[in-house]
Amino acid sequence: MWQVRGRLLEPSLVIGIVNVTPDSFSDGGRFFDTAGAVAHGRRLLDEGAALLDVGGESTRPGADPVDAEDEMKRVLPVIEAFANDGAIVSVDTSKPSVAMAAIEAGAAIINDVTALADPEMAHVAVSTGAGVILMHMQGTPRTMQRNPSYGDVVREVREYLVARSDFAQSVGIEREAIAIDPGMGFGKTVDQNLALLGNVQTLVATGYPVVVGTSRKAFLGTVSGRAVTERDVATAATVALSVAAGVFAVRVHNVAAAQDARRIAEAIVNA
């Protein structure tokens, strides 16, 4: 179970991505206006998304930062619309002020790619009862793909996420509110991403809900030879393998394809 602002979520979830940005790697600019973003999110809900992850700042490799005021202008009206629909919403941000405003607008989860690097973010989670997704990233979005290096990527990512989860609990975040994310593509080579996916059960074994976000990532393009808009089949393969390994949630652009992959994987595992 995953507890987020009084709601209990159960596996296995498909999280729909709503990028309210001009420069995200897959769909930047397509849903940059509020009306387009809201319509897109509602389509994802119709396709079976259990929750929507709304972001107003691209975290693609080399992305430039966005100030908090601009980020809030992008995401708050979208979050409010989804919350008014009764949808569960997470906000993809590393800024405490944006997270607080998003929760006040109706978000229930903070998806922080820096895993509470700003201690104030933990206080936001504690004071609001929001769920958190703690992600692993080596470096920053601007630097993370320059030369990612690990001795043992699976062990190091696991140890980092357990340590950040321990920190979260030490400042008052309930264990049941914490989910972890290995950060596919965030400071990892192709081989390192594949190693993490192939050993994702080691993260599942921590007992925390595991969120995996492989959707249309560059490493899938390297392996498949497909352009970014042609990677949904490759993404679906990773969804099926992740679900079979016991992950709690997958975060995707194409919810319908991910739902098919999830259902087939679960049917095979349960047979």
- Residue 33, pLDDT score: 84
- Residue 252, pLDDT score: 97
- Which residue among the candidates 217, 226, 231, 262 is catalytic per the annotation? 217
Cβ neighbors of 18 (< 8 A, separation 6 or more) are 31, 37, 40, 41, 44, 52, 53, 54, 55, 78
Strand partners, 16: 52, 252
All structural domains of the chain: 2-270 (3.20.20.20)
Judge if pTM exceeds 0.85: yes
Beta strands at 2-4 and 7-9: parallel, antiparallel or unpaired: antiparallel
pLDDT in tens, the chain (271 residues): 899 999 999 999 999 999 998 755 455 555 568 999 999 999 999 999 999 999 999 877 766 788 999 999 999 999 999 999 999 999 999 999 999 999 999 999 999 999 999 999 999 999 999 999 999 998 666 665 667 789 999 999 999 999 999 999 999 999 999 999 999 999 999 999 999 999 999 999 999 999 999 999 999 999 999 999 999 999 999 999 999 999 999 999 999 999 999 999 999 999 9
Q: How far is CA 179 from CA 67, 118, 144, 229, in A?
A: 26, 18, 22, 28
- Which residue among the candidates 60, 158, 188, 251 is catalytic per the annotation? 251
Q: What is the secondary structure of 188-253 as a DSSP string?
A: --HHHHHHHHHTTHHHHTTSS-BEE--TT-HHHHHHH---GGG-HHHHHHHHHHHHHTT-SEEEES
Q: Is the peptide bond before 26 cis (omega within 30 degrees of 0)?
A: no
Provide the sign of the torsion angle of the four alpha carbons 42, 250, 140, 133, taken in this order.
positive
- Residue 146, pLDDT score: 66
Q: Does the active-site annotation cover 217?
A: yes
